[in-house]
């Protein structure tokens, strides 16, 4: 007997936790601990054991690999609305022994809009980053802050002709807001630390064991390996 007046009955959606021996609350808690606090798998195993739950660290690893993308997708809908002021930069990372170039775009709230890993540092990679960001957010930024890499002006004029391009704000913000170390010197950023010095860098640090020869007069110079005790004694008496 067919029921024409009623819609067909659809099966209930399959749960993401179907087939798991542990309840969803335990799996969610373990994955959240690992992602939120940066713990090791054995640390999460120990925390669960203190609460009477015996789970092997390999099982926790499989939970993270399986459910972390789904948790990230569910949390993306609750993020702050993407702002109209973007910051873009790039750095160097070694992946499997090969240098790669990750390009990153963020908004004024600190939310990562998109990250694009490229084998080359060129205009094509920068253009791919902004196209992916536009496809994800469906908005066009009013202001884009970048470093002084020469390909950004051409790419931004092509994709965002009405956006204001700033190349100073990000550099001044890094220099002013960078936390200080115990010695008083500004601490380096982890994103900037990954960039190695390349051949041809203008600002490559150079440490000298002695002043350049041009800064010393001929009578102040000493042969290599012999101390200038006489000259130091004369300067001490004068002072």
Neighbours of 1 (CB within 10 A): 2
Residue 20: name the closest of 9, 32, 8, 30 by CA.
30
Q: Is 215 among the domain residues?
A: no
Residue 55: give the domain boundaries: 24-76
Bridge partner residues of 143 (DSSP): 85, 164
Which residues does 44 contact at the CB level (< 8 Å), separation at least 6? 30, 33, 34, 57, 60
Is pLDDT above 60 for 31?
Answer: yes
Q: Are residues 164 and 97 in the same domain?
A: yes
Domain-located, residue 181? no
pLDDT digits (tens, 9 = 90+) for 44-96: 999 999 999 999 999 999 999 999 988 888 877 777 788 999 999 999 999 88
Say if residues 169 and 111 touch (Cβ distance below 8 Å): no
Q: How far apart are CA 134 and CA 32, in angstroms?
A: 30
Asked whether residue 133 is domain-assigned, the answer is: yes
Question: Which of residues 5 and 74 earns the better pLDDT score?
Answer: 74
pLDDT higher than 70, residue 17? yes
The mean pLDDT value for 193-201 works out to 45
107 with 167, same domain: the answer is: yes
Residues 146, 72 within the same domain: no
pLDDT at 136: 87
33/114 same-domain check: no
d(CA 210, CA 233): 19
Question: At 187, is the pLDDT very low, low, confident or very high (cuts 50, 70, 90)?
Answer: very low
Dihedral over Cα of 98, 111, 187, 166: its sign: positive
Distance between CA 164 and CA 144 in Å, rounded?
6
Together in a domain, 69 and 97:
no
pLDDT value of residue 220? 46
Pairing of strands 143-145, 164-166: parallel
Of the given ranges (45-54, 133-142, 210-219), which has the lowest mean pLDDT? 210-219
Q: Is residue 202 part of a domain?
A: no
More confident residue, 220 or 72: 72
Backbone angles phi and psi of 71, in degrees to 5: -65, -40
Does some domain include residue 210? no
- Predicted confidence at residue 98, as pLDDT, reads 93
Does residue 229 lie in a domain region?
no
| Whether residue 125 has pLDDT greater than 80 | yes
Q: How many domains does the chain have?
A: 2
Q: What is the mean pLDDT of residues 183-206?
A: 45
Question: Residue 81's pLDDT is what?
Answer: 84
Query: How buried is residue 163: exposed, middle or buried, by Cβ count under 10 Å (0-12/13-18/19+)?
Result: middle
Q: Is 52 a member of any domain?
A: yes
Q: Let me know whether 108 and 126 are in one domain.
A: yes
Domain boundary among 118, 147, 175: 175
For residue range 104-122, list pLDDT tens digits in order: 999 998 888 999 999 999 9
Q: Are residues 92 and 167 in the same domain?
A: yes
Residues 195-202 have a mean pLDDT of: 45
pLDDT at residue number 39: 93
Same domain, 146 and 124: yes
**Claim to verify: residue 93 and residue 131 sit in the same structural domain:** yes
């Amino acid at each position: 007997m067919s029921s024409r007046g009623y819609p067909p009955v659809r099966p209930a959606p399959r749960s993401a936790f179907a087939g798991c021996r542990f309840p969803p609350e335990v799996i969610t808690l373990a994955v959240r601990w690992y992602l939120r606090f940066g713990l090791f798998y054995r640390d999460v195993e120990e925390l669960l054991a203190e609460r009477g739950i015996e789970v092997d660290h390999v099982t926790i690893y499989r939970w993270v690999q399986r459910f972390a993308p789904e948790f990230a997708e569910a949390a993306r809908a609750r993020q702050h609305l993407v702002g109209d002021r973007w910051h873009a930069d790039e750095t160097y990372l070694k992946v499997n022994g090969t240098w790669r170039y990750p390009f990153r775009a963020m908004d004024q709230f600190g939310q990562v809009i998109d990250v694009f890993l490229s084998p080359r540092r060129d205009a094509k990679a920068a253009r791919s980053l902004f196209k992916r960001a536009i496809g994800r957010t469906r908005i066009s930024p009013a202001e884009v802050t970048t470093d002084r890499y020469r390909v950004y002006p051409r790419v931004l004029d092509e994709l965002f002709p009405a956006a204001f391009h700033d190349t100073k704000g990000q550099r001044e913000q890094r220099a002013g807001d960078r936390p200080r170390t115990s010695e008083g010197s500004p601490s380096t950023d982890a994103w900037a630390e990954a960039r190695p010095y390349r051949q041809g860098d203008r600002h490559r640090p150079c440490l000298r064991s002695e002043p350049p020869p041009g800064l010393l007069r001929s009578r102040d110079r000493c042969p290599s390996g012999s101390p200038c005790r006489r000259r130091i004694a004369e300067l001490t008496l004068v002072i």
